[in-house]
Amino acid sequence: MSRIAPLEPPYAPDIKGQFDRIMRGAPPLMLFRVMASHRRAWEKFRAGSLLDRGPLSLRERARAQEELVRLAGTDALTGLPNRRAFDERIDDEWRRARRAGTPLSVLFIDVDDFKAYNDTYGHALGDHALATVAHSIATAVRRPGDVPARYGGEEFVVLLPDTPLEGALYIAETIRQRVEDCEIAHRASAHGTVTVSVGCATASPPGLGGAYGLLGAADQQLYKAKAAGRDCVRPLAHATAPVASA
């Protein structure tokens, strides 16, 4: 369960505070970390010349602050929300589901035999494969409230508010099939192409004891999908009673 606990970074970026320091003429290290991690998005933001036009209006400062916050929650490779952003949303959605009495579903997705893919084709093609998988996930998740995210490495997660098990399974299978249809060659895999395994869990709070109990249940189902031969979906039946702590 430790690998799915809320992410605690070595530093806590106060984006608004950092931006205020920039406005006072002292660009902090955090800005350069953001720039390095999100270079393409930063260049687009920088192209607006917000930092070259002299003093900013309050509205321009607010827009710039919002952009930095967005960048801090975005995975640079895939463009999906990152783990930090996902952790914030799953807590919010768990509380919302508890108030409304609605089901909440989570998918835990792992690219099969990805280390072997990197060893065979190199990290550049590995990054391209991850970006392709991310696109397949994003295009399968269409509702505005749904949250696909890169959890780390070759792992992805999808948060599905107000979604029963049947709906979550449909989306999970759609993702699995779309990745398979990309036909990314993977000669080190028994399947011959890049595939994904998906664990799926659904609960109505306080089922599973909390947001991270739900995420942990999806992770356990992912291991079952791996054990079943990969390139498949394994669900956990709808839970309404607490069976684990957050």
Catalytic positions are 154
The overall longest dimension of the chain from CA atoms, in Å, is: 60
| Of 216, 107, 226, the residue nearest 167 (C-alpha) | 107
Would you tell me how many other CB atoms lie within 10 Å of the CB of residue 205? 25
Q: Coil, strand, or helix at residue 78?
A: coil
| Contacts within 8 Å (CB) and 24+ apart, 126-133 | 127/77, 129/184, 129/194, 130/77, 130/78, 130/154, 131/77, 131/78, 132/179, 132/182, 132/184, 132/194, 133/179, 133/182, 133/194, 133/196
